[in-house]
Every structure is written in C-alpha cells, then in structure tokens.
Amino acid sequence: MKVNNPIFFENRRKHHEYVDQKINSIRSDKSGFINLSSLELIEVPEILREVEDKFCLDLSSNSLSDLPDWFYDLDNILFLNLRGNNFSQFPVRLLNMKSIIKIDFSFNNLGKLKFWESDNSNLEILVLDNCRLIKFPRFIKGLKKLVNLSINNNFLRKVPDWINELTNIKTLNCENNYLRNIPNIKNLNNLECLNLKKNKIVNITDDLTRRQNLEQLGLSSNKIKEYPQKLNKLRKLRRLELENNNLKVIPEFIKDLKTIEVLNISNNSISTLKPLNNLKNLKNLNFSSCNVISLEPILHILEKGTQINESPTFVNPFISSIYLKNNKLEYPPIEIIKQGNSAILRYFKRLNNTTQKAVLNEAKVLIVGRTGAGKTSLRYKLRNEKSKLPKSDESTQGIDVEILSLKLDNNNSIKLNIWDFEGQSIAYQTHQFFLSKRSLYLFVVDTRTEKTDTDYWFQIIEILGGGSPLILFNNEKQGKIAHLNHKALIERFGSFLVDQVYQIDLRKISEDKTETQKFHRFIFNTINQIKSLPLVGIKLEKSWLKVREKIQKISKSKSVISAKELFDICDENGITEKQDKLDLSQLFHDLGVFLHFQDFNSISILNNIIILRNEWSTKAVYRILKSESIKKEKGKFMLKDIQNIFNTDDNLHKDYEAEILELMVKFKLCYKVINTDYFIIPQLLEPNKISGEVFDYSETTQLKVIYDFMPKGIMTLLIIELHPFIAKNQTTVWRDGLVIEYLNSVAEIEESQGIREILIKSKGPKRNLIALKVLFAIDTINSRYNFTSKSSVKTKLQCTCKECIDNENPYFFDLLALEKYREKGGKEFPCGNTGNVASINKILSILENGEQNNNLELNLFKEANQITPEKITFDIIEVSSRVLERKFVKRIEDQINDDIVDLLRTKGYNVTDQTRSGASESGLKSGELDLMLRRKNGIPLTIIESLRLKSCGSKNRIIAAHINKLFTKYDTHGLERNFMLVFAETKNFQNLCRNYFRYIDKLNSKIGFDKKEFPITRLDKKSDLSKSANIKIAISYHLHNNETRELAHIILNMR
C-alpha cells in the first residue's frame, strides 16, 4: 500500500538521522559502554572495528539475525547484549572470543540448537531466558569457566547430568520451566544460588540437602508435598522461597536455619508463625495471602526495627521488611499494624502487662440502597421491632449514624454502629470515604423498580469493602418484590455475598406472626455474620473501654470536643502516657467510634478536634454540596460562603467552618485554586466541555484507561490530583474532563462514564511525558480501590501503524497483552483496524518519554510501585557505605563524585550530574555535587544535594542556603523525598552530627531559610536505617501548599 502521509516520512527521516548520529558517536565515546539498542538494526555497524579500548556492547532490541565474520575477530568486547533480536541459532563462534565474559541472548527464538562444544571459552555469565528452548543447549557443556547460568522461562523438562562437569557454577537459574525433579547437582559444590521456582517439582532429593554452600534456594510455585528434615543441613542458607506450595504449616526444618535472612512463605494456608520465633537473623519475611492471626511470634524481629509493608513492592536483602497483606490478623488489629512497629510493640506490651482486660463487642453495619427503598425503615426496626416506620417524606440526608445494642445468646450484647446512607446520586461520590473494610453491609432492594442499582453497590462494596459480607434484604412494599437473578449474583459476587435473600414486609413486623419470625431469623443470622467479623471480640485494656463508654455518653449532647478533652478523659481512667492516648484515639478513629485526624506532619486544625458524631461532619459536607448558591457558581466558593450557609442551620456547625472546609480538602471533595482564596468542587462544575478546547490529531499521543467497573468520582479525584497543572490559569476544566499544561506540552483528559473509560490526548514536545504524568495520577487513584480480575482496569496504547498515526480514531492495544507478547519474543502486532503490523517497541515507546529505552523489560506501572522513597533511601545508604569503604583510597577531591554517580547508575537509575551540566550554582567544589535521579523514562525521582562540612555552629548559613536552593531552584516537580548528603570532615563525628540535627530541628529560625514556603514541622532521627557508626540519618518534614515534603539527611564520616 502506498504511503502518502508526510508526517510518517518525516518521522522515519528523524529516526534514520538519530541512528546515524548514534553510530557516529562511537568514535568519540570513551565511556566503555556502547549502546546501540532499539535502533531497528539489521546488521552490525562496521564502525565497531575502529574501537580500540575494551568495551561493553548493547545491541539489544534490534532485528539482527546473524553476525558478520569480522565481528568474531574483535578481542576487546567484555559484555555482549543481544537480547530481543531475530536469531534462530546461537552464534557459537562467540564462545571462541576470549575477551567476552558475559553474553545476554534472551528473547531470541532458538528452539532446537545445533551441536557445538568449545573448551576454550572464558565465558562466565550466560543468559538464555525466554528463548523457547526445548532441550538444554549442548554447547553449555564446554563452558568450564561458567559461574552464572540463567535459562528461565523456557520449555525444559530436564537438566542433563553433565551439568555436574561445570564445577565453577555458583548461580543456576531454571525458573518457569517444566522440570519435574530437582536436577542432579551432586558435584556442584560451589553452588550458592539455585532458582527452581515455577516448575512442577514434586520431591526433594538428598543431593540438594548436601549442597552446604547453598545461600539462596527458590522453590516457589511447585508441587512439593514433603520437605525432608535434612534440609536443615543447609547451614549457610540466607534466602529461601516457598511461595505458593500449598503449605498448611511452616516446614519443621526452617526453625534450624539460623542463618536465614530472607523467607518467602506467601500464598499458603499457614496460620501460625511460631516456628520463626528463634530465627534471629531474619530480615525479610513475606507471609502475604496466608491465614496468620497473630504477630506475637515475630516480635523479636520487629524489635530490631523491621519495617512492616502491607504488600511486597520490592525485596531488598539489605532491608528489614515484613510483608503481610491478605491475612486474618487480629493481634494486633490491622489498624494498629498500619501505625508502625512502635504501635505494635506498645499494643502487645499493654496487653501482656495489664491484668484487667475486656472484650470489644462492637461492629460497623452499613445500610445501602436507593432512596425510598426502606433503609431508614430497616434501621428503625433494628432499633425496636415495634418502632413506627418513618413518614414517606422522611429520608436520610447524607449519612445517619445510630448506635444500637443487640442481645447475644450468652446474656452479653453487641454494639452496632449503624450507618444509613443517602441514596441520591449526588451522594455517591462521597460514599467511597465511608465504605469500610471489616464491616457488615445490608443492601435494601428497591421493590418499586427492576433497576435496583445492585451492580453499582455490589461492585463498589467489592472494591472497597475488603471482603466484608453483604446481606440482601428485600423489603416488600404493598406485596411487591424485586425479582433478582440471585443465582447469577452469587456466581459473580459469591466471595462476599451471603447466599440467602430475606423477603420481609417491614410494616407487618410485630403484627403478623410469619413476618415477625422471618425478621427474627434475619436478626439471628445477621448477628452470626457480625460475630465472625475481624475486631469483634478483640481484647483491649479495660480502661480503654471505659473511655469508649464516657465518649458515648458525651456524644448524646455534643457533636465535637477538643483533643485536650479526650486526653483529659484518658487521664481520668489511668491512661497517662501521651503515646497511649494517641494510640487509643487512632484505633477508635479506625473503628468508626469517632473521627480524629492525626496528621502531625502538617499544621492541621483537624489535629485539635474530635468529631464524636460522624453524621455531624457528613451532614455539613452534604449541606455544602447541595447548596443552591454554590451550585449557581458551578462549584466555586470561598470560606465566607460556607459561613453564610451554616448561619442558617441553627448553629449546628457555626464556628467550625474552617474545619469542615479542611475536611472536604482531606476527603478530596474540593481543591484550592492556586494563588487565590477560591475553592472548586469538581462534581458541581459545568458539565459541558470548555468551548474551543478541541484537539486536532496531528502529532498527538492517545491513550485510554478502561474500567470493567468505574466507581463514581474517579474524574473528581483526577481533577483534584492534577489541578495545579490546569491550563489557562486553571480555567480549562469541566465536570468530566480538563486540559493541563506541563513542560510546554498540553493534554486533554476526558471521562466517558457511559462506556467506562478515560481518554488521554497529548500534544507538544513532551507529549509522552505529560501523558505519563496523567497515567501515574490515575494509577495513584486506582490504588485506593481493590480492583479484582472481575472488575479490572486496562491501559490501552495507540497503534503506531502508518494509518493510525495522527488518526482521530486509531486502534488501541492492551498494554499487558503487548508486554506478555514481547516477553515471548514477539516483535510486531497486527493493527485491529487495518491489519498492518505495528512495532511493539514503538507502541511501548509512548511510555518511554519518546526516547530510546535501554531496559526492554520496563513496565511503568510496576516500576511506579517498586521505586518508592524508601527504596531510594536504602539504595543511597548502600551507595554511601560503598563510598566509605573507599574513602582512604580516593579522597573527595578526586573520584568520590564519580563513584557516587557510577554506583547509582549500576542500580538502574538515570543520573544527571547537575554540577557538571551547569545547572548548579557557580562555585561548587568537588564533593558538593547536585544529582537528579530519574526513572529510565526520564521522570524525576529525587534530588541529591551534597556539601562538605567541617563544623556546624548555630549561625551556619551554608546549610540553610543549600536546603533553600534544593527546594526553590531544583525541585520544581514537588518530589516526595529529596536528600542532603553531608560529607563530614571532622575529628569529632558524633559531635558534628548532634549539632547538625539540632540545627535542622531549629531550621525555621535560621537566616536565609525560607520558613514561609517550606517550614519544618518535624525531625525524625532514623537510627534503624543504618547500623554503621559512620553514617547518621534523619528525615525532616516540611509543609508546602498544604502538602508534606520530606528531606532525608545522610551524614558520612569521611575522616
């Protein structure tokens, strides 16, 4: 087909120019690393023959199918990367190139290989992942110097016995194959790492138990039935992975592995961690998706400062971490676990020390459904079955919360916090802030219509309820019953929907014997569901429950009290420690007893009040959302407008206008327009797109995010997340979309609720980068929801075939499908509109900022989760340790700057040395470098500001100047955490550290520091992050535009 698109030809011309420039730059490249990846090469550039120094060569992700004869004469290649090309045979002549130490040949479709054996190779590392291998390549037998062999993700059924001839092997990776037995490794005495995850292994042989130098063993996702006790002979084992092996208990041999540091037993049916109570060296423990009830057996690990992570984002053997998502934890409750190690240890200390314990029989019950379905009627009957039903015009406004008490069969009672939700659609966007886990849901079916909103409610409970049970209540009105396909509902939502529907006429209860009996059965079964909820029946100190009872009495006459009043009540009941008071407040907040927003990282007025009656706050919010004056202004208002609204509601909320406004900002119901006193409620904005904001489709990047189920309010949250970037002085925004500006580029984002998708269109020199910014914002919002495989979210990327480029309606590819296809060696994919093939790498380049990508396995959303501020912190600490190891060999005046940059790059960061690029202020000396760490796609991660320090007096101005420069000049992105790397050159290191931290703690008073824009609110010393006496760490918290920005201070002893 003839191509007439001039833009297509222009893009091809630019690509060829880029390739030529890249190849020609080889002559002047002295870095020792030549990167020719992703250039669509079909032959190796002959210019490589001119390179004289030793170098590493990256030819990955091209279209090479063979190597020229002259290539085998090169004697200066150290590392050769040929992954992701079109080879059908391994070029075995490479094995005679004695300079090559490492070859990565992954993602080539090799299948069967010709026989070849070489005894002359110096090869130490060979990677043959994803090569569709059916048999173990015979040529490997001759690689006598091989140390590391990776042959993951193939179709191997057996590892040949001749593997024992490769006695130098230390690492053997055979993950994700079809192995049925442990390989015969009786002679591999140097073996340190054996990875056999994702195979079909059933039995463990004695050969494995004799590998006493083994340090890492991966056996996850196999079919192993029994673990021999002899495995306790692996005395050097540091890492063991037994994930997904149908374990009912922790294998007995593990308790003898005193050297174990990393243990993964996730996705099993383990209920107790008792066998781990003596593993003193354990640093990383992953027991996600098990049935563990108590953390008490691993308190000794927590006492060492081990970090708690709800879900595993990355596992770093240098970091102490515990991963515990999806368990049945009751001791302590997950609400306490989320507060961190100190709160957990305090919980067990209080529980073990007190002699007066009490049981908390209290639960949260949420009644949901349409307006007029009978939710309030059901609440009245739960209060007292003889209660009169509400009048027809009496309907819930916002949320009504009532405390009821039901008798149990043992003469005890259970306290229910009944939340009755308004059913009008305007309230749906706020429901997400109150629907909670570990609760019971009652859905009242609307018998007036067959459109009962079951799909919406069931799906929103599925993604926000955390598996909480849901009971269907069909309130018969005038003999009418809504006909639901209960069988289909159970098939779809059976994981949490109770398999019984209650059809009861609430008007006839206490009058009609049959209806009364049905209602009693409903209450009996409801109580049984409540008794099985987590937290119901948990043990607490008796004094805590006394505070709870006192608060309940006060709430009958007061809606709000001060935090001081709560703490005074604690004092009266013997709870005198400040931290115990805060723990009590936090737990009761999480349980829904009252609201106390503890945010001591910011200067928040919500810190100082306790909202005793939840409906007080919800009614205030709904009153603002329904205000006719604010609706008339399309959601635009000021604080004085709220004051005017509350002046007319019998002083219920008078004098608390600022607190209510901050509550709305916290719940992300509104945002403050930058540099004004105005606020905007996005759901009240003009519904129609702003006039004139129409995209043409030349040089436009398009992406889609598609939801199986789209919760109401997603676009509201997205508008609030991106509001600082709204174009034209924050005016190009409407109810279902917005236009943003960023880096001289523009993006239009619009929601189509009817088809459950968000369409992103971007233009400009950084159009891919601005599209990425939107995707990250959407991903942040989606992370708040527990989307399942039945309510999934898909990202789709625009096709880049010649017909789809610049087309208004291009074809869109599913991101995950493309990634999976590329993992299997796929290069191209047919367009669903035209049938033309499109390059997978080119499609995915949309997610790579339009630049060449050195990492073929980049998955932005996975990376977004993996690269956390904590991971960056630990990487910088590790790099700092390496610098200290070399401090007597290389002084700061020489190569320490280069060492830091190089070490960070080896960890996969894209590092920009701003000192040398001219971005730094003039006059910086060696050792005072400014680094920007970025993702591989160019997105900034953090800034490292460094300085040398010989002393630190109270009048020091250099430190304040450096911090000011970092915040005001370099960090234009509002990064979550930045770093100050301090090279201490003093004889008394400890004294300098004390003075430095004292200086930072009083930073607001220092001359030259901008305390108005970035006031420090707290300083935390982090002694648990480094055990080295030559590294001291603290994190300061700064407030800017009502958001917390962190600055980590790392001091290195360079003397």
Same domain for 980 and 1040? yes
CATH code, domain with 389: 3.40.50.300
Domain end point (choices 275, 310, 333): 275
pLDDT score recorded for residue 772: 86
Is the model's pLDDT at 924 over the cut of 70? no
So what's the pLDDT on residue 461? 84
**Does 156 lie in the same domain as 82?**
yes
Structural domain contains residue 403: yes
CA distances from 721 to 715, 740, 774, 940 (A): 10, 11, 9, 18
**458 found inside a domain:** yes
In a domain, 348, yes or no: no
Lowest mean pLDDT among 76-90, 601-615, 738-752, 881-895: 881-895
Tell me, rounded to whole angstroms, the distance of Cα 1 from its chain centroid. 45
Q: What is the mean pLDDT of residues 877-887?
A: 72
pLDDT in tens, 1010-1037: 888 888 888 888 876 766 778 899 999 8
On whether both 122 and 257 belong to a single domain, the answer is yes
Any domain includes 737: yes
CA distances from 789 to 327, 469, 710, 778 (A): 19, 19, 14, 18
Cβ atoms 113, 140 nearer than 8 A:
no
The three-state secondary structure class of 406 is: strand
Q: What pLDDT sits at residue 856? A: 28
Closest C-alpha to 84, from 130, 44, 126, 29: 130
> Domain boundary residue among 240, 275, 310?
275
Q: Distance (Å, rounded) from C-alpha 721 to C-alpha 552?
A: 37
Looking at the domain assignment, is residue 115 inside a domain?
yes
pLDDT in tens, 628-672: 999 999 999 999 999 888 886 567 788 888 889 988 888 888 998
pLDDT of res. 150: 95
Asked if residue 592 and residue 483 are part of one domain, the reply reads: no
Same domain, 628 and 692: no
Same domain, 845 and 740: yes
> What pLDDT, on the 0 to 100 scale, is given for residue 829?
84
**1015 and 1039 Cβ atoms separated by less than 8 Å:** yes
What letter would DSSP give residue 444? E
**pLDDT in the model for residue 482:** 67
For residue 830, the domain's CATH number is 3.30.310.200
pLDDT (0 to 100) of residue 961:
87
Q: Model confidence at 459, in pLDDT bands (50, 70, 90)?
A: confident
Domain end position, chosen among 674, 706, 728: 674
Q: Render 232-249 in DSSP notation, one character per residue.
A: GG-TT--EEE--SS--SS
Query: pTM score, two decimals?
Result: 0.64
Task: Please give the residue that has the higher pLDDT: either 126 or 926.
Answer: 126
What is the pLDDT, as a whole number, of residue 416?
A: 86
What residues form DSSP beta bridges with 414? 406
Map tokens 């591989």 to a residue: 936
Q: What is the mean pLDDT of residues 450-478?
A: 79
Q: 919 or 383: which carries more pLDDT confidence?
A: 383
- Determine whether 30 is exposed, middle or buried from the number of CB atoms within 10 Å of its CB (0-12, 13-18, 19+): exposed
In a domain, 287, yes or no: no
Predicted local distance difference test score (pLDDT) of residue 317:
47
Q: What are the pLDDT digits (tens) for 939-986?
A: 678 889 888 898 898 888 889 988 988 887 777 677 889 999 998 988
**pLDDT above 70: residue 773:** yes
Whether the predicted pLDDT of 34 surpasses 50:
yes
Q: What is the mean pLDDT of residues 178-194?
A: 91
Angle at 615 between CA 610 and CA 618, to 5 degrees: 95
Same domain, 587 and 630: yes
Give mean pLDDT, residues 602-609. Answer: 78
Contact between residue 643 and residue 657 where contact means Cβ atoms under 8 Å apart:
yes
What is the C-alpha end-to-end distance of the chain, expressed in Å?
Answer: 70
The strand pair at 1043-1053 and 977-984 is best described as: parallel
Say which range, 122-136, 531-545, 723-737, has the weakest mean pLDDT: 531-545
Most confident option among 207-221, 399-413, 853-867, 874-888? 207-221
583 and 473 in a single domain? The answer is no
CATH number at residue 91: 3.80.10.10
In the block, which residue shows the tokens 């001289």?
744
Q: Which residue has the higher pLDDT, 448 or 88?
A: 88
Identify the burial level of 55 via C-beta atoms within 10 angstroms of its C-beta, where 0-12 means exposed, 13-18 middle and 19 or more buried. buried
CA contacts within 13 A on the Cβ side of 947: 22
pLDDT at 3 over 50: no
Q: Cα-flanking dihedrals φ and ψ of residue 778, to 5°? A: -65, -40
Of 798, 769, 832, nearest to 705 by C-alpha is 798
Separation in Å, CA 18 to CA 25, 35, 39: 11, 13, 9
313-325: average pLDDT: 64
- Is the confidence at residue 44, as pLDDT, over 70? yes
Is residue 446 pLDDT above 50, yes or no? Answer: yes
**Strand 930-934 versus strand 55-58 pairing type:** unpaired
Which domain CATH number covers 602? 1.10.10.10
Determine what percent of the chain is predicted with pLDDT higher than 70. Answer: 83
Q: Which residues contact 596 (CB under 8 A, 6 or more apart)?
A: 563, 566, 585, 586, 588, 589, 609, 610, 611
Alpha-carbon gap, residue 1030 to 1052, rounded angstroms: 6
Question: Which domain does 385 fall in, by range?
Answer: 362-531
The residue assigned the tokens 């990064």 is 975
Decide: 1046 and 976 in contact? Cβ < 8 Å: yes
pLDDT band at 692 (very low <50, low <70, confident <90, very high): low
Burial label for 553, CB within 10 Å (0-12, 13-18, 19+), is: exposed
- Res 214: pLDDT: 93
pLDDT digits (tens, 9 = 90+) for 163-184: 999 999 999 999 999 999 899 9
C-alpha 604/C-alpha 587 separation (Å) is: 20
pLDDT at residue 811 tops 90: yes
Look at residue 633 and tell me if it is in a domain. Answer: yes
Domains in the chain, number: 5
- For residue 448, pLDDT beyond 80: no
Sole residue written with tokens 């041999």: 253
Verify that 446 and 489 share a domain, yes or no: yes
* pLDDT for residue 972: 67
1019 and 917: one domain? yes
Q: Are residues 139 and 259 in the same domain?
A: yes
pLDDT of residue 749: 94
Whether 659 and 695 share a structural domain: no
Q: What is the pLDDT of residue 226?
A: 79
pLDDT of 313 higher than 80: no
The band of 730, judged by pLDDT with boundaries at 50, 70 and 90, is confident
In the predicted structure, residue 211 carries a pLDDT above the cut 70:
yes
Residue 318 lies in a domain: no
The confidence band for 887, taking pLDDT boundaries of 50, 70 and 90, is low
Question: What is the reported pLDDT for 156?
Answer: 93
Distance separating alpha carbons of residues 191 and 522, to the nearest angstrom: 63
Q: What is the pLDDT of residue 857?
A: 29
Rg (the chain; Cα; Å): 32
Pairing of strands 321-323, 307-309: parallel
Q: Chain-wide mean pLDDT for the chain?
A: 82
**804 vs 31, more confident:** 804
Mean pLDDT of 675-701: 79
Model pLDDT, residue 427 = 57
Name the helix (H) or strand (E) containing 321: strand 321-323
